[in-house]
Amino acid sequence: MLSIFYKENGKILLSQSENVFRTLKLEDVVWIDLVQPTGAEKRMVEGFLGTEIQSRAQAEEIESSSRYFETDDAIFANTNFLTPGPEEYGEQAVSFTIVEHTLTTLREVPLRSFTELQRRMQVNPRQYPSGFSVFASILDQRVDLDADMIELLSKEISQYAKQINDQEDIDQDLLIDISQMQENTMVVRENVVDKQRLISNLMRSTKVPRSLENRLNVLLQDISSLLSHTNFCFERLEYLQDTVLGLINLEQNKIMKVFTVVSVFLMPPTLIAGFYGMNVRLPMLNADNPNASFWNWIIIIGLMALSCLLVWILFKRKKLL
């Protein structure tokens, strides 16, 4: 899909027809937005701009040297935009190309920050005199959305903390959820750092109007605060993870303690029973003198009970029970 935003009589108009390029000059166009463009649409825009638009593979390039570069006539920048999912966040690559004062964006999916900005441009066109101001507004919108994601992460972390304090459902699933939350926090942080690097490159560029310098500085300050918040969230998740592991270990230790105490209780009786079992006749097996066998059996039972009592007293004194 092709969306062309151009200036006419103090207004910003929208056209989705390729034919409008025939009547427009480059300085009249503020923003060209390409969403899953066809080959013909992409070639038409490249011909209008006089430069090649980066491919999706170039937009997804990880190397920092390939994510931002300039030529004599244009600025090329690539960054990822987060899309929240049910469990984890996805990343959508977006390519920016600025030729003179015209911005061109290339993406594969609809993004909330772009949709909101397109509505604002037509309501208040004076705030968007060039593609650079549109670019700064997109980054501003994106930083605000990242801040909302971090705030949502913080609320979810607070819910996990309450669950742990109430000792509800502390098990392996909770550890997996916390681990997934850590992964989401790292993804958000990496995305914010990517925006920070992009804005820093823009501020060093001689092609960017000096009128945007204060706005970009404010964005860098906002990003710094977001990074501090993500670091705090990650440290809090590590603390919760350690707490859950500690509680699980305590519960396992209690179980092992019970088994150990039971085993120790049974060891003396087992030893006595094993020793006398080879040398003493049990009742009803000695027809000549049944009373003698009966009393021997009573003595064995008494010794077993006495051994259990001694173990119990020893454990009590050692405060093991």
Residue-wise pLDDT for 206-239, tens only, equals 888 888 888 888 988 888 888 888 888 888 888 8
Phi then psi for residue 34, to 5 deg, are -110, 120
pTM (predicted TM-score): 0.71
Comparison of pLDDT for 293 and 40, the residue scoring more: 40
Q: CA distances (Å), 101 to each of 49, 104, 135, 226, 314, in order?
A: 11, 10, 10, 30, 87
Q: How confident is the model at residue 284 (pLDDT cuts 50, 70, 90)?
A: very low
- Of 106, 44, 51, 111, the closest CA to residue 75 belongs to 51
Radius of gyration (C-alpha) of the chain in whole angstroms = 36
Which of the residue ranges 83-87, 173-177, 277-281 has the most confident prediction, judged by mean pLDDT?
173-177
Comparison of pLDDT for 291 and 137, the residue scoring more: 137
Comparison of pLDDT for 31 and 320, the residue scoring more: 31
Taking phi first (over 0 means left), then psi (-120 to 50 degrees means alpha), and beta for anything else, what does residue 85 get? beta
CA distance 313 to 9: 97
Collapsed DSSP state (helix, strand, coil) of residue 140: helix
Query: What count of other Cβ atoms lies within 10 Å of the Cβ of residue 93?
Result: 20
Q: Which two tokens stand for residue 89?
A: 């966040």
CATH architecture, domain 2-249: 2-Layer Sandwich (3.30)
Phi then psi for residue 139, to 5 deg, are -65, -40
CA distance 110 to 126: 25
Which of the residue ranges 12-26, 206-220, 268-282, 288-302 has the most confident prediction, judged by mean pLDDT?
206-220
Taking phi first (over 0 means left), then psi (-120 to 50 degrees means alpha), and beta for anything else, what does residue 84 get? beta
* Listed range (176-185, 228-237, 281-290) with the worst mean pLDDT: 281-290
CA distance 203 to 206: 8
Non-local CB neighbours of 285 within 8 Å, separated by 6+ positions: 293
Q: Residue written as tokens 């409008």?
A: 20
**Domain coordinates in residue numbering, the chain:** 2-249, 253-317
**What confidence score (pLDDT) does residue 115 get?**
81
Residue 204 has pLDDT above 70, yes or no: yes
* Listed range (119-133, 190-204, 276-290, 302-316) with the worst mean pLDDT: 276-290
Q: Over the chain, what is the mean pLDDT?
A: 79
Angle between helices 290-317 and 213-276 (to 10 degrees): 150
